[in-house]
Amino acid sequence: MKRRKLKPYVLPTLMILAITSIIFGTAMMSNNLQKATKEEEPTSYVTNTILQEEEPVINQTKTMINPYTDTTVTIGKGYYDYKADAETQEKSIIYHDNTYMQNSGTDFTSENVFDVVAVLDGSITDVKEDETLGKVVEIKHDNGYVSIYQSLSEVTVKKGDVITQGQVIGKSGTNELDKDMGNHLHFELYVNGQVVDPTLYLNKEVKTSENEE
């Protein structure tokens, strides 16, 4: 076989082409890498601050306070409990207009007129004056709680007001239903539409909210 000799200018030309190819290939790889990095890079990040702000409140609790602050206030008539003994039930009966009725709340009494306060945060859903019950205030709270305050002599809130726990909503007074009891507050509590014994919830932690999926 006859060996061919390369012309003098061929070898340098080949080396130049090889170097050019290497440089061009490196540039292309770098460009593709930058594009891939930009495509993978997210446009925004969720910070710890955002996570903390959006964290749902789950099973938050709060202590329900008494509907009064005066230390001289006592229970004059308790809630009628079907499971209580006969003597306790007898003390929870209301007699009015020749009719015996079961007490659906707790009556707090004192010789002196006392401030009546909201047992939890909430909004005023009703304010009215009843010939038999006296002035009445109804408050809707979170998580199915509704509190009702009757036999008030004065009311300092109106329907639609947003109130805070412990805020004064009126003053104790008298009414025709419990005339013999004198100055008092008739307090009722409802949970999910069912009337309950208020003393089982007052001064105890109650669930005020929970996240909804």
CATH number at residue 97: 2.70.70.10
What's the pLDDT at 50? 42
Dihedral sign (CA 103, 106, 109, 115): negative
Together in a domain, 94 and 33: no
Which residue ranges of the chain lie beneath pLDDT 50? 1-2, 6, 43-51, 212-213
Together in a domain, 98 and 14: no
Task: Report which of 99, 80, 76, 98 is spatially closest to residue 90, judged by C-alpha positions.
Answer: 80
Together in a domain, 41 and 72: no
State the pTM of this model. Answer: 0.71
Q: What is the span of the domain harbouring residue 91?
A: 60-207
Together in a domain, 153 and 111: yes
What's the pLDDT at 145? 97
Together in a domain, 48 and 99: no
Please indicate, yes or no, if residue 149 is contained in any of the structural domains.
yes
Contact indicator for 77, 107 with CB cutoff of 8 Å:
yes
Structure confidence by residue, pLDDT tens digits, 98-141: 888 899 999 999 999 999 999 999 999 999 999 999 999 999 99
185 - beta bridge partners? 108
Together in a domain, 128 and 31: no
What's the pLDDT at 95? 85
Dihedral sign (CA 9, 14, 15, 17): positive
What's the total number of domains in the chain? 2
What's the pLDDT at 32? 56
Together in a domain, 15 and 86: no
Q: Calculate the CA dihedral of residues 86, 90, 93, 94 and round it to 10 degrees.
A: 170
Please indicate, yes or no, if residue 213 is contained in any of the structural domains.
no
Together in a domain, 49 and 116: no
Together in a domain, 95 and 164: yes
Together in a domain, 68 and 43: no
